[in-house]
Amino acid sequence: MSDDVVQDDAVTVSEDTVTDVVDERSDIERQRDDYLDALQRLQAEFENYRKRVARTSDDAVSRATGDLVVKLLPVLDAFDLAQAHFANALSDEALALSQARGLLLDTLAKDGLERIGDVGVPFDPQVHDAVAHVEGDDGEQVVDEVLRAGYRWKGGVLRPAMVKVKG
């Protein structure tokens, strides 16, 4: 037998072929990593988009609800005037009116409506609209009388309270 004969089990490969295979594998791994990075960025962008759309949708619903509440404020004012008119009446109509007013206020309060209309609190131009002024004993300005209630919706002032200020 000669030395030039190669056994069936042994495979001879040139160094250039090995280098080409390794380079090709490196290129494929680099391409795989690039695709993985692109996919991860795309997933993150989509998640951010989904959150932004949900936030925008929630904001739109909140604004629309606030607009509806603003339209209901004259109804609440009418209930307040009617209740003041029937303050000393013990009739069934006065009781029904008071209950209807309470139901409306309670329902809106559960969704974020707050009434601004306390007497004796310090005057705050952010939530009070002073339309009259009365001289007081000390220098501090306080709400003396509420002429028309104001309202907050989820922390933001919908309408300032119309008040008479003392001090």
| 27 and 88 assigned to the same domain | yes
pLDDT at position 9, please?
57
The answer, as to whether pTM is greater than 0.75, is no
Q: How far apart are CA 11 and CA 15, in angstroms?
A: 13
Answer yes or no: is 144 within a domain. yes
pLDDT at position 20, please?
80
Answer yes or no: is 47 within a domain. yes
| 20 and 96 assigned to the same domain | yes
pLDDT at position 36, please?
95
| 143 and 107 assigned to the same domain | no
Q: How far apart are CA 48 and CA 46, in angstroms?
A: 5
One-character DSSP codes across 121-134? SBP-TTTEEEEEEE
pLDDT at position 30, please?
93
Give the structural domain span for 25. 13-111
Answer yes or no: is 6 within a domain. no
Count other C-beta atoms under 10 Å from residue 143's C-beta. Answer: 23
pLDDT at position 50, please?
97
pLDDT at position 141, please?
86
Q: Please report, for the domain that includes residue 122, its CATH number.
A: 2.30.22.10
pLDDT at position 6, please?
46
Please list the ranges in the chain whose pLDDT falls under 50: 1-8
pLDDT at position 95, please?
86
pLDDT at position 13, please?
67
Note the pLDDT tens digit of each residue in 106-135.
999 998 899 988 888 888 889 998 888 888
